[in-house]
Amino acid sequence: MKDILSQEEVDLLLQALESGEIEAESKQETGGVRPYDLTNQERIVRGRMPGLEIANERFARFFRSSLSEFIMRFVEVSVSGMELMKFGEFLKLVPYPSSINIFKMDNVLKGYALLIFEAPLIFTLLELLFGGKSVSWYRAEGRSFTKIEQQIIVKLVSLVLRDLNNAWEHIAPLNPEYVSSEMNPHFITIVTPSEIVIKIEILVEIEDFKGRFFFCIPYALIEPVRERMYSGIQSDILTVDRRWVDRLKEILMDSYFELVAELGSVEITLEELLNLEVGSIINLGKPVDEEVVVKIEEIPKFMGRPGYSRGSQAVKITRVLETEEV
């Protein structure tokens, strides 16, 4: 009980603290030098990478044109996400089975990266290439790719790598080269699980179907051009993609339009309508040699003169209607 302070002693101590006669003990700071691992990937500065974002958008435009031409269908391709994560975490996100394709770069950037197609997207593209219709779901569990399918996948990979190389030309030449394919993500070891990678997600839309594929690029691989990735590079979003324009022209040139040469029109009564029969003559009230209106999708575009050509009824265009005449 002798160690317990009385109320009077407590009051004296408080007074001494307030007056400064006694200094309170302060928490000692843990100073000194501690080791720092410069190879630790956790040191990476988080934030946007405008240069890489521009390259991704360029790739989406290029590949939209290439894939549309490859499957002969209109395809929408867009960048749906980009983030940094550990390689081990990325592999956990890869569904099984998937078409996992390893490619290497051997120029300014040196190393290996991944191009991963989700199985539903691959099977849908194969279905379209073989003359089928777009499907919204395909059961992929337990299904592997045949040799023929794998050959087509390699062609698809070559299209992707070509467009990827073109999209990155303002950053650095990639010269990507296909190495091998795998279906099980657990067999992929391009870097250690703790290393940081850049995951780029691409969305592909074909009619009502949506599928995804990914790029997995080790962060250490882009170190030689890191400043270009983080710097604000002038976007070329207004640059005309000639391949896409030419493809669009080609599709439009094969489109069909309804063309009607209107010989004339007249209003009749219900009684006259009911009396019509085979051999009845309807007077259109126009001279035989008068020009007729030629309409495209019900819009007057030309004037023409009716006649015959090679044994068939025809109309000869005589002039183009001006906008104010329509």
- Residues 23-53 pLDDT 10s: 555 555 555 566 655 555 555 555 678 888 9
- Worst-scoring range by mean pLDDT, 169-173, 188-192, 240-244? 240-244
220-221-224 Cα angle (round to 5): 95
Task: Determine if the peptide bond prior to 97 is cis (ω within 30°).
Answer: yes
Q: What is the pLDDT of residue 298?
A: 86
- For 43-252, CATH number? 3.40.1550.10
pLDDT of 126 strictly over 50: yes
The secondary element (H helix, E strand) that includes residue 262 is strand 259-262
The helix (run of H) or strand (run of E) holding residue 247 is: helix 242-253
Of the candidates 324, 89, 68, 322, which has an alpha carbon nearest to the alpha carbon of residue 206? 68
Q: For the packed helices 119-129 and 50-71, what is the interaxial angle rounded to 10 degrees?
A: 30
Residue for token digits 């550990």? 86
Q: What is the dihedral of CA 117, 122, 125, 131, to 10 degrees?
A: 170
What percent of the chain is predicted at pLDDT more than 70?
A: 79
Which whole number is the average pLDDT over 248-272? 85
Backbone dihedral angles phi then psi of residue 43, each to the nearest 5 degrees: -80, -5
- Domain-by-domain residue ranges, the chain? 43-252, 259-269+284-325
Residue 314: beta bridge partners? 307
Report whether 188 contacts 135 (CB < 8 A): no
| pTM for the model | 0.59
Sheet-wide strand order for 76-86: 76-86, 196-206, 209-218, 110-118, 98-106, 177-182
In terms of Cα–Cα distance, which of 187, 167, 303, 295 is closest to 235? 167
173's CB contacts (< 8 A; 6+ apart) are 107, 108, 165
Spatial separation of the C-alpha atoms in residues 144 and 29, rounded to whole Å: 61
CA dist 223 and 293 (Å) reads 67
Distance CA 97, CA 184 (A): 6
How far apart CA 122 and CA 97 sit, in angstroms, is 11
Gap between the Cα atoms of 318 and 290, Å rounded: 11
| Amino acid at position 200, single letter | I
pLDDT 10s digits, 288-303: 788 889 999 889 999 9
Answer whether residue 239 shows pLDDT above 60. Answer: no
Where is average pLDDT lowest: 73-87, 135-149, 229-243? 229-243
**21: buried, middle or exposed (CB in 10 Å: 19+, 13-18, 0-12)?**
exposed
